[in-house]
Amino acid sequence: MINLNSTNLDITDPDLRSSFSDLQGGILKSHGRDVSRHVFVRFHDAELARTWVRSMAESVTSALQQHESAVEWKATGKEHLFTSLMLSGDGYRALHVDQARAPRDKAFTAGMKDLDQTYNTAPRGDHKPTANPLADDPQDWEEAFRSEVHALALFAYGSDGHDDDEAAAAVDAAVKELAAALSGGAGEIVCVQSGHALRNDIGQVIEHFGFTDGVSDPLVLKSDLDRAYANGGFEHYDPSINIGGVIVPDPGGGPDAYGSFVVYRKLQQNLRGFADHTAQMADALGVDRDLAGALVMGRFKDGTPVGEQSVPGWRNEFNDFNYDDDWTGLRCPLASHARRSNPRGDTYRRFGSPETIERSRRIVRRGISYGTPDLDPPQEWTDTGLLFLCYQANIEDQFIFIQHTWCNNQDFLEDAVGRDPVAGQCPADEQRNPQVWPTQWGRPHSERSFEFGDHVRMRGGEYFFVPSLSALRTM
Ligand code: HEM
């Protein structure tokens, strides 16, 4: 059995072998492959669909298999197709799974399109249930996501430097096979989203606005914590997370079975708009464009945290920092995306709220970019963006809380500091207020307001559960 209050776990620990060979891959560690297909499925016939789920279980990659194939790849270069299968709340209902065997989570059960379901999103125990805390408008979503989605099959292939065409052929073949398996009446493919990791000249993964991404994620495995320690230590920020922040027991599986809740959101990015707006902000503040972008994101494009210095240059995955010496956001603005989505002690510094509570909000991000690799298109709103995907133990307490109470909140930490300029969503009946930015990095009384945002649009998504392999096999 896994002790859910533990961290720094060794994936090869013989005592955890049965759990890690039953837990799906990708949760504790990114699968690391550059090309993926996200296949959204709707079931037609419960019995045929259950048979399909059971057969899919045979090709799903467990956490242990993921580790073993990574070891083999390092030794021989041999690639392995990574496969994961997730089910939505509607999916469990469509499969007629007994309630006692279905995972329990308020958001998962309701589904992302349910705007009437209320959530407790107020900090410090003020219970003010809020409907539609994400400020979503499903009318704006792509057609496929507006109807019921029951399952998400994820295929990924091809490591950094691998032939992309070969990787695309491998994942496309898996999609074709899936379509054939469904065609006997089990269901249909609703849509396929194609992901492709973008990389900079030194191989770091970047997102479409050009910033290094996936730098700061909570870590569970000893190998990842050892690497983070070697990369800067844990003096100012501890990246570890108890495994119970990411996985929960799976009531549908065996005694050692665990799964994880997933938030999936297709986020379209306006690359031209972001670049032009950054240039305008740089002019308005009298700073260069690199710094303006870093104030918005919380890190420079190369990953250097703007709370640490006013110029880029570190080009590494440094993560051992907090905002202790920057209470008011003169170096890293209170609105900046990285600070909003992980305040690294701000709620403790401001409100005395226990740090364990703030840390318990953290999510494990495993998104991938979609659309053309051109980072500088001439026109606005090209078909490009982020297939945002994160794992957690409780959707309401983690993703929904972060998105609503931190990113969408114009008054987080201080009145009228504005929304997260990247991830913040504005409710239809509210207006966008400007954020507060320093005009001279780190200098008191140098702040100016400037409104930045609306370069990311939600195009559709759903909540899922990643069941254990034993649950899938006995579905
Ligand atoms: C298209 C939309 C988005 C873009 C372009 C984006 C980009 C980035 C970048 C460049 C970073 C800094 C690198 C890193 O620490 O990994 C970051 C960090 C982060 N983002 Fe996003 N992001 C987006 C949406 C979201 C959303 C919707 C959420 C959750 C509500 C989110 C949560 C986080 C978190 C938790 C971090 C880590 C912050 C830290 O620990 O310092 N992001 N994002």
Q: Are 364 and 399 in contact (CB under 8 A)?
A: no
Query: Is there a contact between 463 and 89 (Cβ–Cβ < 8 Å)?
Result: yes
Distance CA 109, CA 114 (A): 10
Whole-number Å distance, alpha carbon 338 to ligand 1 midpoint, is 6
CB 457 within 8 A of CB 386: no
Q: Rounded CA gap, 57 and 350, in Å?
A: 47
pLDDT by residue for the chain (475 residues), tens only, comes to: 899 999 999 999 999 999 999 999 999 999 999 999 999 999 999 999 999 999 999 999 999 999 999 999 999 999 999 999 999 999 999 999 999 999 999 999 999 999 999 999 887 666 778 999 999 999 999 999 999 999 999 999 997 667 889 999 999 999 999 999 999 999 999 999 999 999 999 999 999 999 999 999 999 999 999 999 998 889 999 999 999 999 999 999 999 999 999 999 999 999 999 999 999 999 999 999 999 999 999 999 999 999 999 999 998 889 999 999 999 999 999 999 999 999 999 999 999 989 999 999 999 999 999 999 999 999 999 999 999 999 999 999 999 999 999 999 999 999 999 999 999 999 988 888 999 999 999 999 999 999 999 999 999 999 999 999 999 999 9
CB neighbourhood size of 244 (10 A): 18
Give the integer Cα–Cα distance in Å for 383 and 201. 24
Residue nearest to atom 14 of ligand 1 (CA): 215
Pocket of ligand 1 (CB under 6 A): 207, 209, 211-216, 267, 269, 297, 299, 337-338, 341-342, 363, 365, 385-386, 388, 402-403, 407, 422-423, 456
Q: Which atom of ligand 1 is nearest to the CA of 407?
A: 30
Cα–Cα distance for residue pair 305/331, rounded to 1 Å: 10
Q: How far apart are CA 350 and CA 311, in angstroms?
A: 28
CB of 403 closer than 8 Å to CB of 228: no
226 is catalytic: yes
Handedness of CA 91, 407, 125, 115 (dihedral sign): negative
| Atom 32 of ligand 1, residue of closest alpha carbon | 341
Closest C-alpha residue for ligand 1 atom 9: 213
Atom of ligand 1 nearest to the CA of 214: 16
| Residue keyed to tokens 């090209």 | 382
Atom 12 of ligand 1 has which residue's CA nearest to it? Answer: 213
pLDDT for 299: 98
Q: How many CB atoms lie within 10 A of CB 143?
A: 9
CA separation, residue 74 to residues 78, 159, 169, 325 (Å) = 8, 10, 22, 41
User: How close is the Cα of 402 to the center of ligand 1, in Å?
Assistant: 11
Minimum-distance ligand 1 atom for the alpha carbon of 406: 30
Q: Which residues pair with 221 in a beta bridge?
A: 9
Taking the CA of residue 60 as centre, how many other CA atoms within 13 Å lie in the half-sphere pointing to its CB? 30
In the chain, where the domains are located: 19-266+468-473, 271-362+410-460
Residue 269 alpha carbon, nearest atom of ligand 1: 1
List the residue whose alpha carbon is closest to atom 35 of ligand 1: 341
Cα of 214 from ligand 1 centre, angstroms: 8
Cα gap 339→288, rounded to integer Å: 21
Label residue 437 exposed, middle or buried (CB < 10 Å: 0-12, 13-18, 19+): buried
**Confidence (pTM):** 0.98
Per-residue model confidence (pLDDT) at position 160: 67
Q: How far is the CA of 150 from the centre of ligand 1 (A)?
A: 27
CA angle in degrees (0–180, nearest 5) for 296-136-245: 70
Residue 332 CA to ligand 1 centre (angstroms): 15
Question: Which pLDDT belongs to residue 125?
Answer: 63
To test the ligand 1 pocket, which listed residue (308, 337, 361, 409) has its Cβ within 8 A of the most ligand atoms?
A: 337
Q: Is-contact 7 135, C-beta < 8 A? A: no
Name the active-site residue from 163, 226, 276, 324.
226
Q: What's the CA-to-centroid distance between 337 and ligand 1, angstroms? A: 6
Output the residue whose Cα is nearest ligand 1's atom 23.
423
Residue from 264, 323, 365 whose mutation best tests the ligand 1 pocket (most atoms within 8 A of CB): 365
Q: Which of 403, 178, 136 is nearest to 412 (CA)?
A: 403
What integer pLDDT is reported at residue 348 of this predicted model?
94
Which residue, by CA, sits nearest to atom 41 of ligand 1?
Answer: 338
Q: What is the pLDDT of residue 164?
A: 85
Comparing CA positions, the residue from 73, 29, 61 lying closest to residue 223 is 29
Q: 366 C-alpha vs ligand 1 centroid, how far in Å?
A: 11
56's CB contacts (< 8 A; 6+ apart) are 83, 85, 153, 178, 181, 472
Residues 6+ apart with CB under 8 A from 330: 438, 441, 442, 443, 444, 446, 447
The sign one gets for the Cα dihedral 443, 449, 452, 458 is positive
